[in-house]
Amino acid sequence: MPHARLEYAQFGKIAPSAVAALQALSRTASEAGLEKDLIELIKVRASQINGCAFCLQYHLNEARKLGVAAEKLDLAAAWHDAGIFSEREQAALKWTETLTRVAEGGVSDEAFAAVGRHFSETEIAFLTVAVGTINLWNRIGVAFRFAPPVPRRN
């Protein structure tokens, strides 16, 4: 396994204002009223796509603390076929994949209309911020190879 280029704690010491800004931005979606469990699901999915072990483990831990069903966490990568996600969750996961893979084909009018069937304009704005923020965290985590946080055991 490749070694970390920089640990998360070191990054925080080097760039505290960046960490504070990203943490503040990360809170905006829940502060705007989006469900915390939904936000954690989209963070898990983006982190899977981007291959960020640190963010994936971190958001799995957070989702578990919120009581997100283990089956949903286990099947997030295959949500299309899992049959256990609500229509709203599916719309959020699809939007997450679209924005995370934006370089592959942009964002179609169809994709925007699809998310709009389950989210208000305001919710779409903050869902988009949440997806963008986790994608930035993923890029930082992958660049520095942050070691995944150890899950807390009760």
Q: pLDDT tens digit string along 45-77?
A: 999 999 999 999 999 999 999 999 999 999 999
Annotate 86-113 with b (16+ C-beta within 10 A) or e (fewer): eeebebbbbbbbbbbeeeeeeeeeebee
Amino acid identity at 115? V
Q: Is the pTM of this model over 0.85?
A: yes
Domain ranges of the chain: 35-76+84-142
Q: Pick 1 or 9 by higher pLDDT.
A: 9
CA distance 137 to 126: 16
Res 149: pLDDT: 87
Give whole-number Cα distances, 26 to 21, 32, 81, in Å. Answer: 8, 11, 29
Does domain 35-76+84-142 sit in CATH 2.60.40.10?
no
